[in-house]
Each structure stands twice: as structure tokens, then as C-alpha cells.
Amino acid sequence: MGLKGTGKTKQLVELVRKAVDEEHGDVICIEKDKVLTYDIPYQARLIHASQYGINSIDLMRGFISGLAAGNFDITHVFIDNLFKIIRPSAEEDLAQFLAWLERFGQTESITFTLTVSADPKDFGPEVTKYIQA
């Protein structure tokens, strides 16, 4: 989480490359549109959320559940700029989504890494506890 222009996407691309090299499973990267097409290694599955009409937390949760149901080999899901894909109506909605990702990831053995363009100071501990430097 950080303000626009702080290098979040560049760091995410590097993490995707590392995951592809080191993990023994399928790596997924979800972005809003076709921005990262030439940055993400071909071994990772790049998904453009706009092609699937993902524009709410419920649709994102269902989409991720469907990915996991159809592929038991997913080890890591990256989501670039969550707020470009979906914009939670309240901080509580974001906190609930992040908590769901944590539980779902533990159950399915999937690691989730997200980028969010926002100032961490604008969020309470229910959201900021998920931020890693």
C-alpha cells in the first residue's frame, strides 16, 4: 500500500518473477487491463479483470474461488492495484475482504500479494495489519 508512483507495481513484477522461479506451482497475476502484458513472465498466468467484468468485492471473491476450484496447483495470486479493479465502499469492506483472503489462502495453501494505491495513514489497524514493508 502506498501513494501512486511509489514503485508498487515494479516491486510486484519482481515478486512475480521470483515466485515463478522459486515456487513449485502455478502463479497468477490479476490486473485491471493489459498493462503488464510484457512485464510478467509467460510462466505466470496474467488475467485482465476487465475481460471478466470483475468490479466488486463479491465478484473478485467468486473469481478467486473459481480459480482455486479449477486449479489445485495455484501457489500464489498477485493482484495489481486492487482499487483500480474494485473500490470497496467502506474500509470495513476492505478489511473483510483482506481477512477472507487470509483465511482462504490458509485453507487452499495460496499466498496472496496485492498492491493498493492509497495512503496507509487513511486506514485503521484492521487494514494496516496486512501491510508489509
What does the domain layout of the chain look like in residue ranges? Answer: 8-128
Return the pLDDT at 5.
Answer: 83
Q: What confidence category does residue 133 fall into, taking pLDDT thresholds of 50, 70 and 90? A: low
Task: Specify the CATH superfamily of domain 8-128.
Answer: P-loop containing nucleotide triphosphate hydrolases (3.40.50.300)
Q: List, for residues 17-59, the tens digit of each pLDDT value.
A: 999 999 999 999 999 999 999 999 999 999 999 999 999 999 9
Spell out the residues 6+ positions from residue 19 whose beta carbon is closer than 8 angstroms to its own. 27, 44, 75, 76, 78
Q: List, for residues 77-93, the tens digit of each pLDDT value.
A: 999 999 999 988 888 99
Share of the chain above pLDDT 90, in %: 80
d(CA 129, CA 67): 26
Q: How far is CA 25 from the centre of its chain?
A: 17
d(CA 96, CA 21): 31
